[in-house]
Amino acid sequence: SAEAIDRIVIIGGGISGLSSAFYLQREAERQGRKLQLTIVDEAPVLGGKINTLQRDGFVIEKGPDSFLARKQAIIDLAKELGLEDELTATNPAAKKTYIMHNRKLHAMPPGLVLGIPTEIAPFMKTSLLSLGGKLRAVMDLFMPAKPAVGDESLGGFLERRVGTQVMRRIAEPLLAGIYAGDLKKLSLKATFPQFGDSERKHGSLIKGMMHNRKATAAAAKGKAQGTTFLTFKKGLTTLVRSLDQELGGAERRLGVKVTEINKAASGYTLKLADGETLEADRIVVTAPAFAAAKLLEPLVACEELKEIRYVSVANVVMAFDKKTFGLDFDGSGFVVPRSEGLHITACTWTSNKWLHTSPDDKVLLRCYVGHSEDQESVKLPDDQLVAAVRKDIRETMGITAEPIFTEITRLNHSMPQYPVGHIEKMQSLRSRLKTELPGVWVTGAAFDGVGLPDCIRQGKEAAAELYSVSN
Ligand code: FAD
């Protein structure tokens, strides 16, 4: 290397940017390289979408609240950060989840995995579907597999294999928490590739998911059995804080936006909104696709990034006194299909699902608002938003108690919608960047998975990628 020091700037201090930084630092140490790392974020604090609020003995997540336990990248990171003891699982007594149908809560039949039945007997008993809907779903067991094609829409695939009722009444509301999207517009390959794999390998979605479930159960033997979700006892910001501490050597520019990237004689310069200029040999861009596109567009074609639509969502957290609440929960909450015509898309019985979040004599609820076809509710003024949510929980659960407090969080343009063909599009974008902007790597929730573990894995990949670029 001509220069003794690698100057790397990371745009975005969310989990993708912080993980990139952490693994870059580790890789530099391993290779004995000198690294000058700078993290720039327009927000005044690190963490991006991760945002835990501690209030009156409650642990309130305003963004993500937990993660899939079977995804290794986040478990590995927690271990590397010495945070294993901080992890906590969902209340084992709150396993039940409900789905609304005709304004009533129906228990989710046992064996549903991502909305797909893996146990036929309880599925045939559910009151969520008509007999015709159930028979249509199990036809999947006998229908021939479609010859392997490229990508298709998640909704189209589900409709084709298990029918419209399962898609609209079960899968869409369950998956809404992840994408808030229109399943008919989301890429199958980029969201749930295991569904397509099931059809190809087992000739049936249901058979494939049955097989996966057995394999997962076998692999989980001896580990935390039955836990699907984990979080940190003091909230997800535990992870952010710990990463922040580990990145002692990195410089932070918080509360300031990167407004421009330019090519320099050697490497790049980045212009910040406060007028300052940073120099970099390499850049990791973890900003949302629309923000990344703004920065890269003057230098390289990036239509693919502009094609990724973002949905806005909001959530309303409400705290109550147990004494006046008047309701006991026997599960973790419920999800609401769009056809129900409510403002809320889901309601988590947080104090029951996550025992660490609330004092024993209190109740905590979190209601979600907004999806791809409802971008109006999220714009309601605070008082109207709270009134709409309270009306929904009064009409569906009979809750009339006055909350002790409410916390509203609006996440504008926060949920990326991977379009059909997403994976190929991102590959072609990246290969274009490789030749036209060497040393610039784009990653994060817009690319290869929105879940926290996926973002961490992508951060690790970013580090490997940047340090494999010859220099
Ligand atoms: P972000 O967290 O968005 O970070 C990008 C950062 O870039 C931001 O901080 C932004 O300020 C900064 N930035 C943008 N442009 C610029 C610029 N020009 N200059 C400087 N800085 C810039 N995942 C789960 O695993 N479990 C969950 O329970 C879960 N729940 C969710 C609930 C909601 C409401 C939402 C919105 C998401 C949820 N997710 C969940 C998904 C997960 O939270 C996100 O995908 C993940 O946090 C994204 O991390 P990121 O670092 O890629 O992006």
**Tell me: the pLDDT tens digits for 145-176?**
998 779 999 999 999 999 999 999 999 999 88
The atom of ligand 1 lying closest to the CA of 445 is 52
The atom of ligand 1 lying closest to the CA of 414 is 36
- Among 13-27, 210-224, 257-271, 359-373, name the one with the lowest average pLDDT: 210-224
Residue 469, pLDDT score:
58
- Calculate the alpha carbon distances from 396 to 143, 252, 339, 343, 371 in Å: 38, 47, 14, 12, 19
Average pLDDT over residues 281-287: 98
The alpha carbon of 13 and the centre of ligand 1 are apart by a number of angstroms equal to 9
CB within 8 A of 424, min separation 6: which ones?
A: 150, 151
The alpha carbon of 288 and the centre of ligand 1 are apart by a number of angstroms equal to 8
Residue 360, pLDDT score:
97
The alpha carbon of 414 and the centre of ligand 1 are apart by a number of angstroms equal to 7
The atom of ligand 1 lying closest to the CA of 46 is 9
Token code pair at residue 54? 């501690």
Average pLDDT over residues 466-470: 74
Percentage above 90 pLDDT, the chain: 92
- Calculate the alpha carbon distances from 36 to 5, 21, 22, 247, 282 in Å: 7, 11, 13, 11, 11
Question: 414 CB under 6 A from ligand 1?
Answer: yes
Residue with the smallest CA separation from ligand 1 atom 15 is 287
Is it the case that residue 106 has pLDDT exceeding 90? yes
Residue with the smallest CA separation from ligand 1 atom 38 is 64
| Residue 462 identity (one-letter amino acid) | A
User: Quick one: pLDDT band at residue 220, thresholds 50, 70, 90?
Assistant: confident
Question: 42 CB under 6 A from ligand 1?
Answer: yes
Token code pair at residue 409? 């969080």
Question: 67 CB under 6 A from ligand 1?
Answer: yes
- Taking Cα atoms as reference points, which of 177, 178, 195, 188 lies closest to residue 152? 188
Ligand 1 pocket: which of 22, 49, 75, 450 to mutate (most atoms within 8 A of CB): 49
Is it the case that residue 225 has pLDDT exceeding 60? no
User: Whole-angstrom Cα distance, residue 446 to residue 459?
Assistant: 13
Question: 311 CB under 6 A from ligand 1?
Answer: no
Question: 14 CB under 6 A from ligand 1?
Answer: yes
User: Quick one: pLDDT band at residue 471, thresholds 50, 70, 90?
Assistant: very low
Question: 137 CB under 6 A from ligand 1?
Answer: no
CB within 8 A of 465, min separation 6: which ones?
A: 441
Q: Measured in Å, how far apart are the chain's first and last C-alpha atoms? A: 6
CB within 8 A of 365, min separation 6: which ones?
A: 317, 318, 320, 347, 348, 349, 350, 351, 393, 399
Cβ-contact 314, 385 below 8 angstroms? yes
Question: 411 CB under 6 A from ligand 1?
Answer: yes
Dihedral angle, C-alpha 3, 40, 467, 459, nearest 10 °: 170
Residue 222, pLDDT score:
60
Give alpha helix (H) positions in 101-147.
120-125, 131-138
Q: What is the pTM of this model?
A: 0.96
Is it the case that residue 430 has pLDDT exceeding 80? yes
Q: What is the mean pLDDT of the chain?
A: 95
User: Quick one: pLDDT band at residue 133, thresholds 50, 70, 90?
Assistant: very high
User: Whole-angstrom Cα distance, residue 417 to residue 288?
Assistant: 11
β-bridge pairing 112-113 and 104-107: unpaired
Residue 109, pLDDT score:
95
The atom of ligand 1 lying closest to the CA of 66 is 28
User: Whole-angstrom Cα distance, residue 24 to residue 17?
Assistant: 10
Question: 230 CB under 6 A from ligand 1?
Answer: no
The alpha carbon of 149 and the centre of ligand 1 are apart by a number of angstroms equal to 32
Token code pair at residue 284? 């990791």
Percentage above 70 pLDDT, the chain: 97
Residue 226, pLDDT score:
56
Question: 459 CB under 6 A from ligand 1?
Answer: no
Residue 3, pLDDT score:
52
The atom of ligand 1 lying closest to the CA of 259 is 18
Residue with the smallest CA separation from ligand 1 atom 27 is 64
User: Whole-angstrom Cα distance, residue 109 to residue 150?
Assistant: 32
Question: 65 CB under 6 A from ligand 1?
Answer: yes
